[in-house]
């Protein structure tokens, strides 16, 4: 499932072909993704210029010249494919596409520039929805979202305030989208590992009795910044590679330190521990019980 860094990578990949560009036409090849398309979906897109390509948590937000915003969520398996100049694409390129892949091409944006942007989603947990900019705050997928982890509005004080008094585990608190928006299982495991904090630790320990952030909160915010920025950098390099090949956006190779590394030696310098896995709130937690306290 794409997490925040993948979605940010997709945003950066779409930006050069979509931002500032007019949408000439749109094809929807079925009546729904996770939800049915709105009846006026195509009509509200065609002829509009995309004035900004933004992101909030894992939601891509294309701001249209009409004042509408196109919300796009990748779901479990969604990805975009970009062909910059349709006229320049030789039919030979299509030999590289498996027919099964094309069957999952559900939405095609034809840009006035000649670029073609295709949304492919085998499992169809993704969705697209158009909402007026003025109604964004009321949108259920955006309502109540906490701060963006890479924005200036997220720091140790904000995280400590979000966790103060919480009896839940630190891992559960970080997955709570009201505390911080867009973090998923993988990057929570990685951030807790880098901060040397146990996923089982009580969330309230990030705040001192006074409500001020503890050192743990500072360490954790630093670790969250680091894991997300490293993944976004990795995505950026995959973007440069992909541009030269398939134009596919959405997935890239990460190097995780603990995630999916059960029974491997802990990579912390001087630690003799082993990476363990257990189930927490229905998800796999990977951690080192020796150096995460
Ligand atoms: Zn360790």
Question: Which domains are assigned to the chain?
Answer: 4-138 (3.20.190.10), 156-287 (1.10.8.50)
% of the chain residues with pLDDT over 70: 88
Region of residue 189 (phi > 0: left; psi between -120 and 50: alpha; otherwise: beta)? alpha
What does the pLDDT look like over 77-106, one tens digit per residue?
Answer: 888 988 887 554 444 444 444 344 788 999
Among 3, 6, 8, 248, the one annotated catalytic: 3
CA of 271 to the centre of ligand 1 (A): 5
* pLDDT tier, 271 (very low <50, low <70, confident <90, very high otherwise): very high
The secondary structure of the chain in percent helix, strand, coil, rounded to multiples of 5, reads 35, 25, 45
Q: What are the angstrom distances between the C-alpha of 168 and each of 31, 34, 78, 173?
A: 41, 31, 32, 7
Read off the pTM: 0.88
Q: Residue 126 has what pLDDT?
A: 94
Average pLDDT for 197-224? 97
Collect residues with CB below 5 Å from ion ligand 1.
Answer: 266, 268, 271, 273, 288, 290-291
What does the pLDDT look like over 127-166, one tens digit per residue?
Answer: 999 999 999 989 988 998 999 999 999 999 999 999 999 9
Give the relative orientation of helices 215-244 and 185-194 as an angle to the nearest 10 degrees.
130
DSSP 215: H
Distance of CA 34 to the CA centre of its chain: 17
What does the pLDDT look like over 25-35, one tens digit per residue?
Answer: 999 999 999 99
% of the chain residues with pLDDT over 90: 73
Angle at Cα 229 formed by Cα 228 and Cα 233, nearest 5°? 120
47-56, 140-149, 171-180, 227-236: which has the minimum mean pLDDT?
227-236
CA of 287 to the centre of ligand 1 (A): 8
* pLDDT tier, 18 (very low <50, low <70, confident <90, very high otherwise): very high
Average pLDDT for 67-86? 89
Compute the residue count for the chain.
293
CB 129 within 8 A of CB 38: yes
Among 11, 58, 166, 257, the one annotated catalytic: 58
Choose among 75, 37, 78, 71: nearest CA to 53.
71
Among 55, 200, 243, 283, the one annotated catalytic: 283
264 is an active site residue: no
C-alpha to C-alpha distance for 195 and 192, rounded to whole angstroms? 5
C-alpha to C-alpha distance for 35 and 52, rounded to whole angstroms? 24
283 is an active site residue: yes
């Amino acid at each position: 499932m794409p997490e925040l860094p993948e979605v940010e990578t997709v945003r950066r990949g779409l930006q050069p072909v979509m931002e500032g560009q007019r949408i000439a036409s749109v094809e929807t090849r079925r009546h729904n993704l996770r939800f049915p398309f709105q009846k006026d979906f195509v009509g509200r897109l065609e002829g509009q210029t995309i004035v900004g390509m933004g992101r909030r948590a894992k939601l891509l937000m294309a701001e249209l010249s009409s004042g509408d915003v196109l919300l796009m969520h990748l779901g479990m398996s969604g990805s975009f494919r970009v062909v910059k100049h349709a006229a320049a694409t030789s039919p030979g390129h299509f030999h590289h596409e498996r027919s099964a892949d094309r069957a999952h091409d559900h939405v095609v944006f034809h840009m006035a520039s000649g670029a073609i942007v295709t949304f492919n989603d085998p499992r169809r947990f993704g969705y697209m929805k158009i909402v007026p900019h003025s109604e964004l705050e009321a949108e259920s997928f955006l309502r109540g979202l906490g701060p963006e982890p890479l924005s200036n509005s997220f720091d140790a004080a904000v995280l400590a305030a979000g966790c103060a008094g919480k009896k839940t585990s630190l891992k559960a608190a970080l997955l709570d989208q009201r505390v911080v928006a867009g973090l998923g299982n993988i990057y929570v495991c990685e951030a807790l590992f880098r901060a040397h904090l146990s996923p089982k630790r009580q969330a309230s320990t990030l705040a001192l009795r006074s409500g001020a952030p503890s050192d743990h909160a500072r360490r954790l915010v630093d670790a969250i910044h680091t894991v997300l920025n490293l993944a976004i950098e990795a995505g950026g390099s995959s973007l440069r590679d992909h541009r030269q090949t398939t134009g596919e956006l959405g997935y890239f190779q990460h190097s995780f330190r603990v995630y999916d590394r059960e029974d491997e030696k802990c990579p912390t310098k001087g630690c003799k521990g082993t990476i363990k896995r257990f189930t927490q709130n229905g998800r796999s937690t990977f951690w080192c019980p020796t150096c995460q306290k």
